[in-house]
């Protein structure tokens, strides 16, 4: 019996690279080949999947291994395995672990509600694996070739996994990056259990992954809290990115939206912890901003086509020719997906380097570090738009050692102070709201979003009741300012049509009138937020 966590990263193997990857993994004398057949268990109403738990029984040669997996971030997650005498399952075998106790509670409640456990889907793969000693780490590289099976549905499994046996996570990622570039591998954030659950539900794309609040202990220090925030943001981004290539454009609209939300939350997370943790390289921050802007072009098309245009039609507007995106796959999606994947892996490497206490190693793990590389050189500098260290602490005061009592006390105090200071800026804009032009309204909207995300990031160390009361007006005005922003985007686009279609005049008149109405609705909502008290400890 074992109880531990696993550190790994997984990639899909393009069909054209299958033979080359298989040959590379099989190179050497200490190669292990196994046939694995697994049954993944869940209740008929998917209670384990909804709780983020994967439970399986797998035959490995002559042995049966029951495994329980859950949670974790981009690289690390909980895993507990027990040997079984046969293919039967027994939840009690995991009862000594926290996740096992959660599993047993879920199954007990499910039985009380009339739901029993059964096989939801199965996998069958031929695995070829070997251990590679790379500079700073021993890594097991495993190539799986097989299928996911859910009822009559089938899906090919062609993936290679890099699991850390010992040594540095950053070194493992550097090895994985070399393989990714060499064989054209595609980063796959989803586990087999996530893919199988989607297949069993007959979903054409990865499920929409919305933002969640990071979880960490109330007594956590700065580093632990920031790690949880990074884990959540990167998980949101990676799972949203997995849906922007496949399928029809209409199916990808929400994936693109959630990807932009994830990027904005990641940028807000950096701002929220600015001055308290080592900052990322300038170049990575700038590329993140650039990708966000590129995705925004697609999002603006969606807003125009599905939001304002539909409202105009309901208002009786004359027919107007608006350039629409071509049906079917979006040619730019592949470019965006590739750019997103490369950047995401660099952020994962940077996060791993933080946990190892060497943030300058992130560029090397991403395979981009060179002598004199500005990205590597800037690893100790502040990113664009980031506040300077010491913004909440005395100038020159060093970062408090992570995990110390002082760090835990300082983090909660600094989080409270930062929220209050940012709130004062929003309240000042309320007093001059009627005089704000489009540019300043857009800046206010971004500050409101940043404040909401910061409250969610700091929530575990804040008073729950005050946090909930503050988030209510914050969410309300954020939605209202989003409506106003969509109208501004539409106004710009319809102005471009004036020379070619007179019907655009009607649309612009309606949009101007609607802007006046929405601004009138926003003012009292902003006042309500301005008069609220930001949450504290």
CA distances from 168 to 270, 301, 350 (A): 24, 44, 13
Q: Encoding tokens for residue 270?
A: 């950096």
User: What pLDDT is recorded for position 127?
Assistant: 97
CA distances from 32 to 19, 29, 61, 145 (A): 17, 9, 12, 14
User: What pLDDT is recorded for position 209?
Assistant: 84
Q: For tokens 């007006």, what's the residue?
A: 473
Instruction: Quickly list H helices, 84-134.
Output: 98-112
What is the rounded CA–CA span in Å between residue 348 and residue 230? 9
What is the rounded CA–CA span in Å between residue 230 and residue 247? 29
pLDDT averaged per 10 residues, the chain (length 537): 77 96 93 97 95 96 95 86 96 96 97 95 97 95 98 96 96 96 92 93 78 92 94 91 60 78 95 95 93 76 62 72 50 61 91 81 46 32 35 39 61 95 96 94 96 97 94 96 91 84 84 94 97 93
CB 275 within 8 A of CB 237: no
Positions of E strands within 315-371: none
User: What pLDDT is recorded for position 341?
Assistant: 82
**Positive or negative, the Cα torsion across 20, 23, 28, 34?**
positive
What is the rounded CA–CA span in Å between residue 148 and residue 158? 10
Domains annotated on the chain, with CATH: 2-188 (2.40.320.10), 249-530 (1.40.20)
User: What pLDDT is recorded for position 474?
Assistant: 97
User: What pLDDT is recorded for position 507?
Assistant: 83
CB 180 within 8 A of CB 11: yes
Helix axes 438-458, 222-241, angle to 10 degrees: 120
What is the rounded CA–CA span in Å between residue 420 and residue 436? 22
User: What pLDDT is recorded for position 298?
Assistant: 64
Work out the number of other CB atoms within 10 angstroms of the CB of residue 195: 20
Q: Encoding tokens for residue 5?
A: 């966590």
Nearest by Cα to 162 from 11, 365, 5, 368: 11
């Amino acid at each position: 019996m074992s109880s531990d966590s696993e550190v790994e990263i997984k990639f899909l193997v393009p069909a054209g690279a299958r033979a080359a990857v298989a040959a590379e993994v099989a190179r050497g004398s200490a190669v292990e080949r196994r046939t694995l057949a697994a049954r993944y268990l869940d209740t008929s109403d998917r209670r384990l999947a909804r709780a983020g738990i994967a439970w399986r029984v797998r035959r490995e040669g002559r042995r049966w291994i029951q495994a329980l997996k859950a949670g974790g971030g981009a690289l690390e997650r909980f895993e507990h395995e027990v040997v079984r005498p046969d293919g039967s399952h027994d939840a009690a075998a995991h009862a000594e672990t926290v996740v096992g106790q959660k599993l047993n509670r879920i199954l007990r409640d499910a039985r009380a509600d009339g739901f029993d456990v059964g096989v939801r889907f199965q996998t069958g793969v031929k695995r070829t694996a070997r251990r590679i000693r790379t500079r700073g780490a021993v890594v097991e590289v495993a190539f799986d070739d097989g299928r996911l099976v859910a009822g009559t549905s089938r899906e090919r499994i062609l993936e290679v996994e890099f699991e850390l046996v010992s040594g540095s996570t950053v070194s493992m990622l550097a090895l994985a990056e070399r393989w990714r570039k060499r064989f054209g591998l595609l980063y796959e954030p989803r586990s087999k259990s996530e893919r199988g659950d989607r297949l069993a539900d007959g979903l054409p794309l990865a499920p929409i992954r919305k933002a969640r609040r990071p979880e960490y202990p109330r007594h956590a220090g700065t580093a632990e809290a920031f790690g949880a925030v990074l884990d959540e943001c990167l998980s949101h981004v990676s799972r949203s990115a997995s849906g922007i290539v496949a399928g029809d454009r209409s199916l990808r609209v929400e994936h693109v939206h959630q990807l932009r939300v994830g990027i904005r939350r990641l940028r807000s997370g950096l701002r929220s912890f600015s001055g308290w943790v080592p900052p990322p390289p300038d170049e990575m921050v700038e590329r993140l901003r650039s990708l966000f802007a590129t995705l925004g072009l697609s999002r603006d098309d969606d807003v125009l086509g599905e939001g304002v245009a539909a409202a105009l039609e309901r208002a009786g507007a004359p027919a107007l020719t608006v350039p629409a995106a071509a049906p079917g796959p979006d040619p730019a999606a592949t470019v965006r997906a590739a750019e997103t994947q490369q950047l995401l892996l660099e952020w994962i490497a940077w996060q791993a380097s933080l946990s190892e206490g060497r943030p300058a190693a992130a560029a090397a793990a991403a395979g981009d570090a060179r002598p004199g590389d500005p990205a590597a050189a800037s690893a100790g500098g502040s990113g664009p738009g980031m506040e300077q260290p010491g913004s909440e602490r005395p100038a020159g005061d060093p970062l408090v050692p992570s995990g110390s009592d002082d760090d835990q006390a300082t983090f909660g105090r600094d989080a409270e102070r930062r929220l209050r200071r940012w709130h004062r800026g929003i309240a000042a804009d309320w007093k001059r709201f009627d005089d704000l032009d489009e540019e300043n309204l857009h800046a206010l909207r971004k500050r409101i979003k940043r404040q909401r995300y910061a409250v969610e990031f700091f929530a575990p160390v804040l008073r729950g009741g005050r946090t909930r009361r503050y988030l209510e007006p914050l969410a309300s005005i954020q939605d209202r300012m989003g409506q106003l922003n969509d109208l501004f985007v539409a106004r710009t686009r319809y102005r471009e049509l004036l020379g070619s279609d007179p019907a655009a005049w009607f649309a612009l008149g309606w949009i101007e009138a609607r802007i006046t109405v929405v601004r009138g609705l926003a003012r009292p909502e902003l006042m309500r937020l301005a008069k609220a008290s930001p949450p504290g400890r």
